[in-house]
Amino acid sequence: MINRRTNTTIEEVNFSIQELLPQWNVSKKDNDVIFDKIVGLQIRKIRLMRNKSQVRLSNAVGVTFQQIQKYEKGLNACSHKNLKKISEYLDIDIDYFTKPLDDLNLTLLKRRDNNVYPFKTEPYLAR
């Protein structure tokens, strides 16, 4: 029998996050999925730490508890506005939700080589 994590404890949530991080930069689409999952797991973790239910959190944010479930599972991306509401309700800095990515300096955008513009520029004279 396979031991499946249900992410009902802080330890399980932390383990799930640690499993996702090495998958970063496989593709842009994968990064988007991983980002949403990590943010969702961080929401779940802090909610569990604060001993709040999904219903209480959903009432504070103004969404359904099903939407909170989708955020926590990474099925739906959480808007910045709702993330701000969640951080205020749970009394946490908004940076907390991306901390696992920030700690490893993982970025969504690749940096341009030597700050070269991707298009040819022509010198223009002001007239």
Domain assignment present for 123: no
The reply to whether 84 falls in a domain is yes
Q: Which residue has the tokens 């730490």?
A: 49
Answering whether pTM is above 0.85, one says no
Please provide the DSSP assignment of 88-120 as one string: HHTT--GGGGGHHHHHTT--SSPPPGGG--SS-
pLDDT at 6: 86
User: How much of the chain is in helix, strand and coil states, percent to nearest 5?
Assistant: 60, 0, 40
Q: What is the overall mean pLDDT for the chain?
A: 88
The pLDDT, as a whole number, for residue 67 is: 98
Asked if residue 114 belongs to a domain, the reply is no
Evaluate if residue 116 carries a pLDDT over 80.
no
Indicate if the pLDDT at residue 17 is higher than 70: yes
Which of 86, 92, 36 lies closest to 58, judged by CA?
Answer: 86
Task: Give the range of the structural domain holding residue 56, as residue numbers without chain letter.
Answer: 10-109
The CA distance from 74 to 37, in Å, is 4
